Amino acid sequence: MQESVKFNLKEAKSDLLHAINECSQRGLLNTTKWLAELNYSLKNIKLDVHDLTADIKSEICEEEDIYVLSKTYFDLKEYDRAAYFTKDCATPKVRFLHLYSRYLSGEKKKIDDMTDVPPDPLKNDNLKLLCADLRKDHLASKLDGFGLYLFGVTLKKLQLMREAIDVLVESIHKEPMHWGAWLELAALITDREKLESLCLPNHWMKYFFMAHMYLELQLIDEGLALYCQLQSMGFQKNCYVLAQTAIATHYRRDVDNAIETFKKIIEEDPYCLDNMDTYSNLLYVKEMKVELAYLAHRATDIDKYRLETCCIVGNYYSLRADHPKAVMYFHRALKINPQYLSGWTLLGHEFMEMKNTNGAIHSYRQAIEVNRRDYRAWYGLGQTYEILKMPFYGLYYYKQAQVLRPHDSRMILALGEAYEKQDKIQDALKCYYKACNVGDIEGMALFKLATLYEKLGEDEQAVGAYTDFVADEFRNIDKSDLIHAYKYLIHYHIKREHLDQANHFAQKCLQFDETKEEAWGLLRTITEKRTIRLGETFMMVDDMNETDPVMEQRAQADATPGSQLSPMNLSSTPTP
Concatenating the DSSP letter of every residue in 537-557 gives: HHHHHHHHHHH-HHHHHHHHH
Q: What's the first-to-final CA gap in the chain, in angstroms? A: 155
Q: Per the domain annotation, does 382 fall within a domain?
A: no
CATH of the domain at 331: 1.25.40.10
Q: Per the domain annotation, does 48 fall within a domain?
A: no
Q: Per the domain annotation, does 78 fall within a domain?
A: no
- Supply the pLDDT for residue 461: 86
pTM for the full predicted model: 0.75
- Supply the pLDDT for residue 222: 93
Q: Which residues have a Cβ under 8 Å from the Cβ of 129 and sit 6 or more positions away?
A: none
Phi, psi of 246, deg, nearest 5:
-65, -40
- Supply the pLDDT for residue 36: 81
Q: Which amino acid is at 167?
A: V
- Supply the pLDDT for residue 124: 75
Which domain-ending residue is among 244, 269, 294? 269
Q: Which amino acid is at 26?
A: R
Q: What is the DSSP letter of 3?
A: P
CA 346 vs. chain centroid, Å, equals 10
- Measured between alpha carbons, how far is residue 541 from residues 29, 499, 548, 549, 571 in Å? 104, 21, 10, 12, 22
CATH of the domain at 216: 1.25.40
**3-class SS letters over 366-389:** HHHHHCCCCHHHHHHHHHHHHHCC
- Supply the pLDDT for residue 459: 84
Q: Per the domain annotation, does 180 fall within a domain?
A: no
Q: Could you tell me if 309 and 302 are in contact, meaning their C-beta atoms sit under 8 angstroms apart?
A: yes
Q: Are residues 278 and 256 in the same domain?
A: no
**Which residue from 47, 92, 46 is spatially nearest to 67, judged by alpha carbons?**
92
Alpha helix (H) residue ranges in 252-374:
255-268, 276-285, 289-303, 307-319, 323-336, 341-353, 357-370
- Supply the pLDDT for residue 116: 53
Q: Per the domain annotation, does 472 fall within a domain?
A: no
Sign of CA dihedral 240, 342, 408, 206: negative
Q: Per the domain annotation, does 351 fall within a domain?
A: yes
Number of other residues whose CB lies within 10 A of the CB of residue 499: 17
What tens digit of pLDDT does each residue of 259-292 get? Answer: 999 999 999 889 989 899 999 999 999 999 999 9
Range of the domain at 259: 204-269
Which domain-ending residue is among 345, 365, 385? 365
Q: How far apart are CA 548 and CA 555, in angstroms?
A: 11
Q: What is the pLDDT along the chain (576 residues), one digit of tens a residue?
A: 556 667 678 888 888 888 887 777 666 777 778 788 778 777 788 877 555 554 454 445 567 788 888 888 998 899 999 999 999 888 888 898 899 999 999 888 887 776 655 566 666 788 999 999 999 999 999 999 999 999 999 999 998 999 999 999 999 999 888 888 999 999 999 889 999 999 999 888 899 999 999 999 989 999 999 999 988 888 888 889 899 999 999 988 889 999 999 999 999 889 989 899 999 999 999 999 999 999 999 999 999 999 999 999 999 999 999 999 999 999 999 988 888 999 999 999 999 999 999 999 999 999 998 888 889 999 999 999 989 988 889 999 999 998 888 888 888 988 988 898 888 888 988 888 888 887 776 677 888 888 888 888 888 888 888 888 887 765 667 778 888 888 888 888 888 888 888 888 888 888 888 887 888 888 888 888 778 767 666 555 555 555 444 445 444 544 444 444 333 333 333 333
Q: Are residues 257 and 287 in the same domain?
A: no
Q: How far apart are CA 351 and CA 363, in angstroms?
A: 9
Number of domains in the chain: 3
The radius of gyration of the chain's CA atoms, rounded to the nearest angstrom, is 37
Q: Per the domain annotation, does 380 fall within a domain?
A: no
Q: Which amino acid is at 563?
A: S
Q: Per the domain annotation, does 241 fall within a domain?
A: yes
Q: How far apart are CA 540 and CA 54, in angstroms?
A: 114
Q: How far apart are CA 269 and CA 267, in angstroms?
A: 6
- Measured between alpha carbons, how far is residue 388 from residues 116, 375, 550 in Å? 21, 20, 76
**3-class SS letters over 118-142:** CCCHHHCHHHHHHHHHHHHHHHCCC
Q: Residue 179, class by beta-carbon neighbours within 10 Å (0-12 exposed, 13-18 middle, 19+ buried)?
A: middle
Q: What angle do CA 512, 409, 460 make, to 5 degrees?
A: 60
- Supply the pLDDT for residue 441: 67
Q: Could you tell me if 151 and 134 are in contact, meaning their C-beta atoms sit under 8 angstroms apart?
A: yes
- Supply the pLDDT for residue 574: 36
Which domain-ending residue is among 365, 397, 429? 365
DSSP string for residues in 464-490 = HHHHHHHTTTTSS--HHHHHHHHHHHH
CA atoms within 13 A on the CB side of 565: 15
Coil, strand or helix: which one is 237? coil
What tens digit of pLDDT does each residue of 21-38 get? Answer: 777 766 677 777 878 877
Give the DSSP H/E element, type plus range, for residue 110. Answer: helix 92-112
